[in-house]
Chains A and B, each alone.
Chain A
Amino acid sequence: MSILDRLFDLPEDNRRRCVIRGVDIRKVYRTGKVETHALRGATLEIYEGEYLSIMGPSGSGKSTLFNMIGGLAKPTSGKVYIDQVDIAQLDNDELAWLRCRKVGYIFQSYNLLQTMSCLENVMLPMSFAGLDQERAQEKGIEILKLVGLGHRLLHKPAELSGGQQQRVAIARALANSPGIILADEPTANLDQKTGDEMIELLARLRKELGVTIISATHDSKMLQRSDRIMWISDGRIEKVVRPDEMDFSEHGLH
């Protein structure tokens, strides 16, 4: 690590453990003969227990970066380490293992499996991790209670409100006690009040469980609650600021 320490200007609080490290991440998409450079060399570190927001206009490479640090796609060049593991070295099954245990995903449109009850949705990642049904059920009920849905265990997602569905999705993301929660615009489909509840819930979980939360968002309330805000533009990390350094009147925030 000493070489990396010298190579990269680490922030002062590098006593904290680094859970995600990206080194000169580049990603090129090829459609026919056209090359699209989605990322042009992004270098970043994300620390344990931190709340990082990523923002940027559409087409800035934000989602690409998001996919890379979530282990959903491999970079064209550069390195991505999730919990010290270089994801480029992993085959598909190992990536599945990593996604299952290390990262919890929250999607903008919840992405709950409509055919399953809330409890089954939460139990699914635990089955993937090899937990037996009984313990998975126990743990699933516990987590759903934690997000305030202890009374909706056997409902189908379609029977729930958007906010409740997103709570189930959060519960599902927490199923295998991952160190990292990756949230893609988690409040975008929710009304103001429900969105605020979701932000509170995420903040509480982070405090209680010590998980690292990374979210792509344009929600100013969410940005204000984060530790750092990463601004992506044209495939590069333009700046990383603290919420108090940021002018919320610009960038068309709401």
Chain B
Amino acid sequence: MQTIAEQIHLPWRNAFEVVLQGIRIRLGRSLVTLSGVALGTAFLMSLLAAGTLRESVRDEALVRDEVTRMQNFLRIETGPFEGRRFAQLPLGEPNAVETRLLASIGKVTPVPRLEAGGKADAILLIGEPAPGAALQPLPEGALVALTRQAQGPLAPEAFQLDRELTTEELAQMESTARKAAARKVWIVVIALLVTVIGICNSLLMSVTERFREIGTMKCLGARSSFIRRLFFIESGLIGTLGSLAGAIGGLLFALFLYGLTYGFGTVFGSLLIGPLSLQFLITWGAGLVLAILAAIYPANRAAAMVPATALRSNI
């Protein structure tokens, strides 16, 4: 009996060429699969990047949060701002939060300085009071709102806008944030799963479509590992390019969104390049890994095909 050698392993280059030709022919579907991967990873990237960008515009965001909170507290006391007579009483230099607060109320209704003997429904004390300072007499029945803790001793009955949050409020906020984070994780997981299923489905279609082609290659002496490799390369290529596009797209989307909200100067002036690059690489890698995971089942199905199918299958 003569000896049968083991069939040689083809270099990756050959498989790569076969795959490239295949992708060129089935360009339409490859692009659809690729955009699926891109969308899934773009989603992941934009969420990751949003976290980092939020960190970089943190001061600005804190001011905004504070202004919003003060506005809300104020609205609880005064009702809607429209038609109310507001007035401000400067005690010192206004800080960023106070300036913003005045500006935002000013959009609805003017907030003039309180003249001696003037009338107002609500009076905002602005700025740090000098030590030992006393308040001028305020109009009867007006609501007095304090924007700083230090203003407290001046008007003990006044309404405090700059409040320490109570433990309950803090707990509430934390729980809301936790829920939002969990929801985000859930959506990302779903998006990535859909991506994996999309690739898997596309490759399975590719297997069915290429029944005869695979069978023929097996008849010509292709090893099962060569066939398997074809599918891993195809999906690896789609994964690499798709998740690269997705990572770029997601990052740009997040930058654009934060730029619109906080101003492009603020966002780009304080970019945290390190963490963003890391997240970019993580997203890119995750896309690639998922693409390869998605190829396992289709590749094994193709590799397990019996060469005789090439003779009969008319698909």
Residue of B nearest to A67 (CB): B308
Q: How far is the CA of A113 from the CA of B222 in the complex (A)?
A: 13
Contact status A99-B311, CB under 8 Å: no
Interface residues of B in 1-52 (CB under 8 A from A): 1-2, 4-8, 10, 14, 18, 21-22, 24-25
The segment from B178-186, B212-220, B235-243 found at the interface with A is B212-220
Q: Report the count of interface residues on B (CB-CB < 8 A).
A: 34
The segment from A2-10, A46-54, A124-132, A234-242 found at the interface with B is A124-132
Contact status B24-A115, CB under 8 Å: yes
Contact status B310-A96, CB under 8 Å: no
Residue-wise, chain A 160-178 has the 8 Å CB interface mask toward B (1 for contact) of 0000000000001000100
Chain A contacts for B21, CB-based, 8 A: 115-116
Interface residues of A in 87-132 (CB under 8 A from B): 90, 92-94, 96-101, 105, 107-109, 111, 113-116, 124-125, 127-130
Chain B contacts for A93, CB-based, 8 A: 6-7, 223-224
The reply on A184 being an interface residue by CB < 8 A is yes
Q: A1 → chain B, closest Cβ, in Å?
A: 11
Chain B contacts for A72, CB-based, 8 A: 219, 306-308, 311
Residue of A nearest to B6 (CB): A93
The reply on A83 being an interface residue by CB < 8 A is yes
Contact status B10-A127, CB under 8 Å: yes
The reply on A85 being an interface residue by CB < 8 A is yes
Majority-rule SS of A interface residues: mixed
Contact status A97-B5, CB under 8 Å: yes
The reply on A66 being an interface residue by CB < 8 A is yes
The reply on B263 being an interface residue by CB < 8 A is no
- Interface residue from B24, B220, B314 paired with A99 (Cβ < 8 Å): B220
Chain B contacts for A111, CB-based, 8 A: 212-213, 215-216, 219, 310
The reply on B107 being an interface residue by CB < 8 A is no
Q: A72 → chain B, closest Cβ, in Å?
A: 4
The reply on B221 being an interface residue by CB < 8 A is yes
Contact status A128-B7, CB under 8 Å: yes
Residue of B nearest to A185 (CB): B311
The reply on A84 being an interface residue by CB < 8 A is yes
Chain A contacts for B4, CB-based, 8 A: 85, 90, 94, 97-98
The reply on A63 being an interface residue by CB < 8 A is yes
Tell me whether A124 and B217 are in contact in the complex, defined as CB-CB below 8 angstroms, given that A114-B25, A115-B22 are known contacts. Answer: yes
Tell me whether A97 and B25 are in contact in the complex, defined as CB-CB below 8 angstroms, given that A84-B1, A92-B224, A113-B213 are known contacts. Answer: no
Q: B304 → chain A, closest Cβ, in Å?
A: 10
- Most-contacted residue by chain B among A63, A105, A114, A128 (CB, 10 A): A128
Contact status B7-A125, CB under 8 Å: no
Contact status A107-B310, CB under 8 Å: yes
Chain B contacts for A99, CB-based, 8 A: 218-221, 307
- Most-contacted residue by chain B among A66, A83, A113 (CB, 10 A): A113
Contact status A85-B221, CB under 8 Å: no
Q: How far is the CA of A215 from the CA of B45 in the complex (A)?
A: 59
Contact status A107-B213, CB under 8 Å: no
Chain A contacts for B2, CB-based, 8 A: 83-85
Contact status B221-A97, CB under 8 Å: yes
Chain B contacts for A90, CB-based, 8 A: 4
Chain B contacts for A85, CB-based, 8 A: 1-2, 4
Q: How far is the CA of A217 from the CA of B4 in the complex (A)?
A: 31
- Interface residue from B7, B24, B216 paired with A107 (Cβ < 8 Å): B216
The reply on A18 being an interface residue by CB < 8 A is no
The reply on A73 being an interface residue by CB < 8 A is yes
Chain A contacts for B220, CB-based, 8 A: 99-100, 105, 124-125, 128, 172
Q: How far is the CA of A66 from the CA of B8 in the complex (A)?
A: 26
Contact status A125-B221, CB under 8 Å: yes
Interface contacts beyond A63-B311, A73-B306, A111-B215: sample of 20 additional A-B pairs, CB < 8 Å, sorted by A: A63-B308, A73-B307, A84-B2, A90-B4, A92-B224, A94-B4, A94-B5, A96-B222, A97-B4, A99-B220, A107-B216, A107-B311, A111-B212, A111-B310, A114-B213, A115-B21, A116-B21, A125-B220, A127-B10, A128-B222
* Among all A-B residue pairs, the 7 with the closest Cβ atoms: A100-B221, A97-B7, A128-B221, A115-B21, A130-B8, A72-B308, A111-B216
13 pairs, CB–CB < 8 Å, chain A vs chain B: A93-B6, A94-B6, A96-B7, A96-B223, A96-B224, A97-B6, A101-B221, A111-B215, A113-B213, A115-B24, A127-B10, A128-B226, A129-B221
Contact surface of A with B, Cβ cutoff 8 Å:
63, 66-67, 70, 72-73, 83-86, 90, 92-94, 96-101, 105, 107-109, 111, 113-116, 124-125, 127-130, 172, 176, 184
